Each structure stands twice: as C-alpha cells, then as structure tokens.
Amino acid sequence: MVVCVLLQLILLSLTAAHSQRTLQGCPDKCGNIAVPYPFGLTENPNCYRPFMGISCNHSFNPPKLFLGHGNVEVLDISLKGQVRISNLIAWDCYEDGVRTHWNSPSIDMHRFPYTFSDTRNRFIAIGCDTLAYITGSNGRNYTGGCVSSCYSRESIIDKTCSGIGCCETVIPKEVKNFTLKLTSFDNHNQIGVFNPCSFAFIVEKDWYNFSASDLRDFHGRREVPVVMDWAIGNKTCEEVLRGEDMADYACGSNSHCLNPNNGLGYLCDCNKGYEGNPYLPNGCQDIDECADKKRKVCEGICTNTLGSYNCSCPPGTYDDGEQDGRRCISSPPVKKEFPVLQVTLGTGLGLLFLLVGSSFLYWGIQKRRLIKLKAEFFEKNGGMLLQQQMSNREGTVESTKIFTAEELKKATNNYDESRILGRGGYGIVYKGILPNHNIVAVKKSKLVDGTQIEQFINEVVILSQINHRHVVKLLGCCLETEVPLLIYECVNNGTLFHHIHDEGYVASLSLETRQRIASETAETLSYLHSAASIPIIHRDIKSTNILLDENFSAKVSDFGASRLVPLDQTQLSTLVQGTLGYLDPEYLQTSQLTEKSDVYSFGIVLMELLTGKKALSFERPEEERNLSMYFVSSMKQNRLFEILEERVVKEGSREQILEIAELAKRCVRLKGDERPTMKEVAMEIEGLWRLGKHPWVQQDPQETELLLGEPSDSSGYNTTGYDSLKDHVILSLGGGR
C-alpha cells in the first residue's frame, strides 16, 4: 500500500516536471511557435481535433504557420481561446486627383470555428480624405466604418486616432467574414502631397499607434495582427454535457468546461490547484503549492495534496487563527471571554439609539447634500449665466422657462421606461405631462464637459428666441441635474423619414404634400440663415430631423442645443458629426462651416422626397449607394424618371418635376459657392408651387409667414411624438465614439 502511494507520487512529480503540449508522438511546434493540442500539424490527422489543423510551411525561414491548408498565417496560439493571425490591409491611392491603385481585401472564416474578437480588435482607417467601411456577416449582414478628414498637415496630432488623419471604431460580436473598402470624397485633391493614400484594417487593440508619417507612407506594412476567438465545436457546455456522446468531450481529467460567450462552442480550463493543457487526457497536473518558494503559502508544515495542500503547525506552536492559516505562533492566540448577556443588552440598546440618532443625522445631511448638489449642477450647467442672459433680453424669451428637477421628475413619472419616445446618439427623449396637462418632450442630453457650457447657454438663448411656426419650439430647460435637460413642444405625427421610407408608409405622401413640406423646410432654413437676429446654421438637416404634425406640416427639429459643438474652428474637424449621405463634402474637407452646408443637406432631402430613396443605403449597388451621386448621374444619363417615386411621376407635370430636380442638383454642387442660397431655394420652390395647377396654391399666407416674436399658442403643446432620435445608417464621424 505504502509503496503504491509512493510510486504514484513519484510518477506524478515526473509528469509534472515535464508537462506535455500535444498528444504522444505529435510534433508540438513549427519553427519557434508552439502548437499545443487541440491544435496540431496537418501532417498527421490524429494529432489535432477537427478544424484545428495547422500547416507548417518550411520554405520560409523561420517556417510559417497557416490555418488548415489555407493562406491565413497564424502568429501564435493561446489555449485561453485565442489565435493571433496576420491580416491584410486595404489601400486606396491617388495621384493628381486620379485613383491609381486600390484593393479591397476579404477574409472568410466560415469554414473554421473561429470568430473575430470584438473586444480585442479595432477597425482603424488612416487618411485625410477617407471613408472606410467594413461589410461582413455574423449571421446577419453588417456594415460599419468611420470617416477621417484633415485639410493640412499641421492639424494632425500624433497618437490620437479621433477623426483627424485617423479614425477607429469597434466591430460587432461574432463576425465571421468581412471585406474592407475605401473611398474618398475628393480624390485626395489638395492633400495628395502629404497623404496620397488611405488605408484601413482590423487590428489587435493597442497594437497600432497613429503617427503622422503613416499618412505619407504606410506601405511598409502589408499585414497586421488580428485576434480571433476559437472554441471546440459549436455546442455550449450544457449541450455537450447533456449529450449522449460524451466520447467527443474535449476536456481532460481535472478540468472543467467554459462557455466563451462568443457564439462558438466551448473551452476547457484546469480546475483550481491544477495547471497544464486541459485538452489532453491528463494534461491538468497538480500544482505543488508547497514547492512554490515565491508565494510561500505556508510557514508551518506543508503537505501537498491533489488539487490543494495541507498546512499545519509543528508541535508546540499554534495557528494564529487568521483565515488563511499559514502562520504559526509560539503561544496560543488570546481568546477574550465575554459577559454575554450584559454585552448583548447594552449593545442592543446602544445600537437602537445610534440607529435613531444617525437616521436623523443622515436624513438631514442627505437633504442638505442634495440641495447643495442641485445648486452645484445649476451653477456648473450655467444657470447663473442663463438667468443673467435672460434678464438682459427680457421680452423675447418670456416663454422659455427654467424647470426644476422635481417638476420634470413628476412630469416624466420618474423617467419611466414607458415614457421613452426615442433614443439616439445624442440622448434620450421622454414624454412629459405638466401639471396643466400640457404634453411636452423632455430631452436628456449626454454628458457635457465644462468648456461647452457657455456654448450651450448661447444656444438655448438663441433657440428660445426662435418662434417660427415650422421650428420645434424649445419651452425651457432644467439645469439642476447632472446633464442639462431640454424641454420641447411635442410633435405627434412622426418624422418625414418615417413617412417616406418605413414599411407601410412608402408612397403615402402625395406630391403636393411633399412640395409643401419642402417649401416649409426651405423657408424655415432661409429664415434661420438670414432673418433671425443671429444667423443660425442647422448643420444636421435630414429627413429624420423634419417632424410632421397631424396636418403634415413640417417642424424642423434637433438644433445645436442637442449637440454642443464649440465654434472654434481648429477643433471643429474632430467634432464634425452628422449623418453620412447628408453631409456636405466641402465642409468635411475644409471644416469650414457655412450656410451652404445646410443647402447641400436640403438638396438631399429634396431628392429623397422625389425618389422615395434613402440618402445612403448599403443595400444599393456601390455606384448607387449615395443618393446624390445616383440622382445626378441619372439626370446626366436622362434616366431621371426611372428612379423617381411612381406616385410623384403620376401626380406631377414633367416640367415641374424636372425643375425641382434641377434645383436639387444645384443644391448639391461640390463647391458651396456655386450652390444657391437658401433664400433663392425657398423662393424657387414657392414659385414652382404656385405654378403647379393645384388647388392648394392658394395657401393661407400665414403658413409661410415668419412668426418671430409672435406669442406661442398653447395648442402647439398638446401634441405628442418626437425628435429625430431614430437610428438608421449613421456613421459617427471621427470614430471612437
């Protein structure tokens, strides 16, 4: 018996000293790179589990590893569930404004039980005139990407990848395959000297640091490392352990099964107290804790046991009684005797007093703290500044109110889930009911940083001065909360986008309504650009930002107040945020914001109204993806009527439609200077409208009247519905957000 145990111990220590990586008789590396089981070299099919074969090509020095018999190079393998592979870079190069060479590499892992790790990789694009996107599949089709833009070398900051020269974004979970594509807005004109090419790649997080010199030449690198998750099979632990055929179970003795939660099968891990390769039958070996001189788990007599150890104190010494039990002391630890009853009674009474006293104290302190916090937020959010500004402008802003946090909490039923009207990149919008039963929309913005407060106040003040029938009215704000809250009138008939594109609504608007909406929007923008006391550039005109009331009358929404964009130009390029498809390419290039950017966006809305097609759709073929390009090229080829909404063609005269189309085309000219002003656009649409032989030509003149300063009518509040916080294809420019 004793001999037997001894023998076992000796065997154990022998195998532990020489821990195995692969099955008996199988090579365990290729060149210098370890290939642990369940991976193995393809020379012998018995040496690896299905799909885990690695081919070792000795014609390279040192030899290179490839997945299966394919051409995906493996850089290293971790038994924790990752392999690092080498992946191609996409490039797109120009010379004197002409595209010279480009590629769009693809990779497909559908044959392997691998997915691209969403937590350990990033999508990165480098370039100054760069729109990079990635399309792929994780069971569902997926498209993502980012935009980077810069105008001069000087604006570039090394090591930050935030939209100037470099942008990055995350990839979704469980991606199996993808293709990388690059395009430019202006063929790298003007910037070709320092940035002839754009590049894009998926790369291991933190592997790449952007450097301005990469804009000039990144060709030195052809491949970058990417991390893939792997797993055994395609069943979870529960499914495998429940199954009848346990013969295929990959985890060896003294190990357990783990779900990696990446859409794949399962992984194995050694039990506590064991280490080694859990995929080998006896791969997990006991750890000899007592031999670990560094950690010194036990000061007394240490005996190693399987999976653990036993620590006891030598005769004459005592355990110190502490939990970890690793120290021995020379005298027994002192145990204090307690007079149990008295202590219990005393403690009980004492505790009672303490409890009552401290609750009072706590309650008092909390209340004061809350009041103080509210005051702090009020100040931080610019309350003083706003109050001052408002008192300076008495008369104009009487309808803008500063709400208290308490009022809004009540109005929104403590921000109840059921009150959410919309969510988006800018915040959440709740439906609120005021004590006088008026319905309002309460917008909770994202966190604001201190420097933007003044800007925010300015915008609130400007917005509160606009009193235009076709602008969603700002009723007030609340500054006592951590993030400022904005309170708007409610508009209850959805967005223009909804009425043009959503299922069941396609072709629901007549040409006449479309024209009226266009006219109202144009006229509102023209007013903002010129008639308002300070010109206001909307910056984000799109069909989701045009709300409709029950009479299908347009209400322009989502003013700068929701996006706090500082006006200093040097920073603007990082903060260019908008919706691709509507974004003025010139603005993107130069970062110079002018009112012509709104004209461009409005042109796109016009095209949307005419064609019923989305501004940007990755479902359309590449050359038709961008509505403005598609529209203009269709006009050039005399195919315009083929892409228009049928209902529009049916209801309008050919001349009338052509004129609107011509106007839309002029609005999206590349050079802002060549675009008409919003005023011209508004007048032209109005003219066309009158020319059309429609009964609604005789409109109520009030409809188009500017209503600056007119007292707000309360009927406008009694509406529901809200803001553009509807996500569709929006790429966040400047990535990283």
Ligand X SMILES: *[C@@H]1O[C@H](CO)[C@@H](O)[C@H](O)[C@H]1NC(C)=O
Question: With binding defined as CB under 6 A, does residue 135 bind ligand X?
Answer: yes
CA distances from residue 679 to 411, 530, 735 in whole angstroms, order as listed: 40, 8, 34
Extract the tokens encoding 336. 């204090």
Stretch that binds ligand X, among 72-80, 132-140, 454-462, 579-587 (CB under 6 A): 132-140
From candidates 8, 19, 44, 57, binder to ligand X by CB under 6 A: 57
Question: With binding defined as CB under 6 A, does residue 108 bind ligand X?
Answer: yes
Interaction mask 4-43, ligand X, x per CB under 6 A = ----------------------------------------
Stretch that binds ligand X, among 103-111, 476-484, 568-576, 633-641 (CB under 6 A): 103-111
Distance of CA 430 to the CA centre of its chain: 22
Rg (CA), the chain: 34
- Residues from 381 through 440 that contact ligand X (CB under 6 A): none
Query: Nearest to residue 461, comparing CAs of 565, 540, 390?
Result: 390
Question: With binding defined as CB under 6 A, does residue 249 bind ligand X?
Answer: no
Supply φ then ψ for residue 162, to 5 degrees.
Answer: -135, 25
Side chain identity at residue 241, one-letter code: L
CA distance 595 to 574: 19
- From the list 92, 214, 229, 540, the catalytic residue is 540
Of 141 and 653, nearer to ligand X (C-beta) is 141
Enter the DSSP assignment of 556.
E
**Helix pair 596-611, 654-667: axis angle to 10 deg:** 150
Contact predicate 223/87, CB 8 Å: yes
From candidates 13, 187, 259, 310, binder to ligand X by CB under 6 A: 310
| Nearest distance from C-beta of residue 503 to ligand X, angstroms | 16
| Nearest distance from C-beta of residue 157 to ligand X, angstroms | 13
Of 617 and 677, nearer to ligand X (C-beta) is 617
Extract the tokens encoding 345. 């009674």
Extract the tokens encoding 9. 């111990």
Binding site, annotated residues: 444
Contact predicate 218/199, CB 8 Å: yes
Question: With binding defined as CB under 6 A, does residue 145 bind ligand X?
Answer: no
The three-state secondary structure class of 416 is coil
Interaction mask 261-300, ligand X, x per CB under 6 A = ----------------------------------------
User: Where does 350-426 show beta strands of DSSP type E?
Assistant: 401-402, 420-424
CA distance 556 to 571: 27
Instruction: Kindly state the number of chain residues that form the binding site for ligand X, as judged by CB under 6 A.
Output: 19
Of 206 and 568, nearer to ligand X (C-beta) is 206
From candidates 141, 533, 569, 699, binder to ligand X by CB under 6 A: 141
The three-state secondary structure class of 554 is strand
Is residue 540 part of the annotated active site? The answer reads yes
From candidates 38, 136, 283, 424, binder to ligand X by CB under 6 A: 136
Contact predicate 88/149, CB 8 Å: no
Of 243 and 535, nearer to ligand X (C-beta) is 243
CA distance 60 to 66: 12
Enter the DSSP assignment of 212.
T
Stretch that binds ligand X, among 35-43, 174-182, 389-397, 528-536 (CB under 6 A): 174-182
| Nearest distance from C-beta of residue 211 to ligand X, angstroms | 9
Enter the DSSP assignment of 527.
I
Side chain identity at residue 360, one-letter code: F
| Nearest distance from C-beta of residue 437 to ligand X, angstroms | 46
| Nearest distance from C-beta of residue 140 to ligand X, angstroms | 5
Binding site, annotated residues for ATP: 444
From candidates 103, 104, 137, 271, binder to ligand X by CB under 6 A: 137
From candidates 177, 189, 271, 712, binder to ligand X by CB under 6 A: 177
Distance of CA 725 to the CA centre of its chain: 15
CA distance 136 to 453: 41
Interaction mask 441-460, ligand X, x per CB under 6 A = --------------------
- Using DSSP, how many helices (H) and how many strands (E) does the chain show? 17, 34
| Nearest distance from C-beta of residue 251 to ligand X, angstroms | 17
Interaction mask 365-384, ligand X, x per CB under 6 A = --------------------
Extract the tokens encoding 251. 């985890």
Question: With binding defined as CB under 6 A, does residue 207 bind ligand X?
Answer: yes
Contact predicate 163/150, CB 8 Å: no
Side chain identity at residue 159, one-letter code: K
Extract the tokens encoding 190. 């003007």
CA distance 103 to 585: 23
| Nearest distance from C-beta of residue 177 to ligand X, angstroms | 4
Contact predicate 55/66, CB 8 Å: yes
CA distance 618 to 437: 44
Stretch that binds ligand X, among 122-130, 176-184, 582-590, 631-639 (CB under 6 A): 176-184
| Nearest distance from C-beta of residue 168 to ligand X, angstroms | 13
From candidates 13, 86, 103, 106, binder to ligand X by CB under 6 A: 106
Of 179 and 404, nearer to ligand X (C-beta) is 179
| Nearest distance from C-beta of residue 276 to ligand X, angstroms | 23
Of 139 and 535, nearer to ligand X (C-beta) is 139
Side chain identity at residue 72, one-letter code: V
Stretch that binds ligand X, among 133-141, 371-379, 416-424, 727-735 (CB under 6 A): 133-141
Which residues 6+ apart lie within 8 Å of 128 measured at CB?
A: 148, 149, 150, 151, 165, 188, 191, 194, 195, 215
From candidates 42, 104, 143, 179, binder to ligand X by CB under 6 A: 179
| Nearest distance from C-beta of residue 607 to ligand X, angstroms | 24
Contact predicate 139/159, CB 8 Å: no
Of 106 and 510, nearer to ligand X (C-beta) is 106
CA distance 584 to 597: 5
| Nearest distance from C-beta of residue 611 to ligand X, angstroms | 22
Stretch that binds ligand X, among 137-145, 330-338, 493-501, 628-636 (CB under 6 A): 137-145
From candidates 160, 271, 312, 396, binder to ligand X by CB under 6 A: 312
Stretch that binds ligand X, among 54-62, 417-425, 427-435, 685-693 (CB under 6 A): 54-62
- Residues from 314 through 333 that contact ligand X (CB under 6 A): none
Contact predicate 631/664, CB 8 Å: yes
| Nearest distance from C-beta of residue 64 to ligand X, angstroms | 8
**Helix pair 678-691, 596-611: axis angle to 10 deg:** 30
Query: Nearest to residue 491, comparing CAs of 434, 429, 428?
Result: 429
Side chain identity at residue 635, one-letter code: M
Stretch that binds ligand X, among 171-179, 491-499, 532-540, 691-699 (CB under 6 A): 171-179
Of 209 and 347, nearer to ligand X (C-beta) is 209
How are the residues of the chain apportioned to helix, strand and coil, as percentages rounded to the nearest 5?
Answer: 35, 25, 45
Query: Nearest to residue 486, comparing CAs of 496, 494, 473, 476?
Result: 476
Of 207 and 415, nearer to ligand X (C-beta) is 207
Question: With binding defined as CB under 6 A, does residue 44 bind ligand X?
Answer: no
From candidates 234, 359, 392, 718, binder to ligand X by CB under 6 A: 234
Question: With binding defined as CB under 6 A, does residue 211 bind ligand X?
Answer: no
From candidates 178, 403, 456, 582, binder to ligand X by CB under 6 A: 178
Question: With binding defined as CB under 6 A, does residue 140 bind ligand X?
Answer: yes
Question: With binding defined as CB under 6 A, does residue 617 bind ligand X?
Answer: no
Residues labelled catalytic: 540
State the residues that interact with ligand X by CB under 6 A.
55, 57, 59, 106, 108, 110, 135-137, 140-141, 177-179, 207, 209, 234, 310, 312
